[in-house]
């Protein structure tokens, strides 16, 4: 077991966003976290990454409790977030954005040349500025930047949101290669069908609570719909 979150609560002021969320991720597996807007998916990723301030519960990564550690320490341990909206550095080129991901200098498989092998388009666009790229191309940069940190656990938050289907297909096609190199993935996604087809296991959140969990291919559409909408 690579990651184990137990009874995680999180708050925004007086508003409780997560209620006792428990979840685990094994080494090199992919896990989907699905749910409607406001279900708590992004908040949960932020808790793992050390970006949510008000929280309680235990989060174990590679056997050590990381709850309460600062985000930069958690990143150096091997948990990296590809955030919603991609959040690239607009004043840096594609290649400079990628290099920013390697500042932690964690050892591992991924370097600039291997990211370019995974996403050849980025090699072609390496001197361009991010705002000259399409949304799908920016998504590749965000994933490539995260890989440059050589994570053991990659958190992808709505990385395909608003993209054309062909761009989403390219992003999802990269996940198998990433896992083959030993990186586990937690994927936040609203497209339940796509998330189910690309992951080993799935968790559904509703109003900050886990309403369903199981092997992705074994959860039928009816159960998932009830868990998703609370019907």
What residue numbers bound the domain in which 87 lies? 3-229
Q: Summarize pLDDT for 180-208 with one digit per residue, the tens.
A: 999 999 999 888 888 888 999 999 999 99
pLDDT for the residue 85: 85
**Whole-number Å distance between alpha carbons of 146 and 141:** 9
| Tokens found for residue 216 | 């992705």
- Which of 11-25, 46-60, 213-227 is predicted least confidently? 46-60
Percent of the chain exceeding pLDDT 70 equals 99
Query: Above 80 in pLDDT, residue 53?
Result: no
Query: Above 80 in pLDDT, residue 231?
Result: no
- Reduced to 3 states (helix: H, G, I; strand: E, B; else coil), residue 158 is coil
pLDDT for the residue 55: 80
pLDDT for the residue 191: 84
Of residues 231 and 75, more confidently modeled: 75
Average pLDDT over residues 144-153: 97
Percent of the chain exceeding pLDDT 90 equals 78
pLDDT for the residue 105: 79
pLDDT for the residue 63: 94
Q: How many domains are there within the chain?
A: 1
pLDDT for the residue 100: 95
The residues, any chain, with a CB within 8 Å of residue 71's CB and separated by 6 or more, are 49, 50, 51
Q: Determine contact, residues 94/130, Cβ cutoff 8 Å.
A: yes
- Which of 51-55, 95-99, 167-171, 215-219 is predicted least confidently? 51-55
The residues that bridge with 156 in the sheet, in sequence order, are 82, 187
Q: How much is the pTM?
A: 0.93
pLDDT for the residue 133: 95
* CATH value at residue 26: 3.40.50.300
The residues, any chain, with a CB within 8 Å of residue 164's CB and separated by 6 or more, are 135, 136
- Reduced to 3 states (helix: H, G, I; strand: E, B; else coil), residue 151 is coil
Average pLDDT over residues 214-229: 92
pLDDT for the residue 144: 96
DSSP the chain: --EEEEEEEEEETTEEEEEEEEEEE-TT-EEEEE--TTSSHHHHHHHHHT--SSEEEEEEETTEE-TT--HHHHHHHTEEEE-TT----TTS-HHHHHHHTTTT---SS--HHHHHHH-HHHHHTTTS-GGGS-HHHHHHHHHHHHHTT--SEEEEESTTTT--HHHHHHHHHHHHHHHHTT-EEEEEES-HHHHHHH-SEEEEEETTEEEEEEEGGGS-HHHHHHHHHT-
């Amino acid at each position: 077991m690579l990651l184990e979150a137990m009874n995680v609560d999180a708050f925004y002021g007086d508003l409780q966003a997560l209620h006792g969320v428990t979840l685990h991720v094994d080494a090199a597996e992919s896990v989907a976290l699905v749910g409607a807007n406001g279900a708590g998916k992004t908040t949960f990723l932020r808790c793992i990454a050390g970006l949510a301030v008000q929280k309680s519960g235990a989060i174990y990564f590679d056997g050590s409790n990381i709850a309460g550690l600062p985000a930069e320490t958690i990143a150096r341990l091997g948990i990296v977030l590809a955030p919603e909206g991609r959040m690239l550095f607009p004043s840096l080129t594609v290649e400079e954005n990628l290099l920013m991901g390697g500042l932690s200098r964690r050892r591992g498989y991924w370097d600039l040349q291997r990211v370019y092998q995974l996403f050849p388009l980025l090699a072609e666009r390496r001197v361009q500025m991010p705002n000259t790229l399409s949304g799908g191309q920016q998504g590749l940069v965000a994933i490539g930047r995260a890989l440059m940190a050589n994570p053991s656990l990659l958190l992808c938050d709505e990385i395909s949101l608003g993209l054309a289907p062909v761009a989403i297909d390219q992003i999802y096609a990269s996940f198998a290669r990433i896992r083959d190199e030993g990186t586990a993935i937690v994927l936040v996604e609203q497209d339940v069908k796509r998330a189910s087809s690309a992951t080993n296991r799935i968790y559904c959140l509703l109003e900050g609570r886990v309403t369903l969990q199981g092997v992705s291919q074994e959860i039928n559409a009816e159960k998932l719909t009830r868990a998703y909408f609370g019907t």
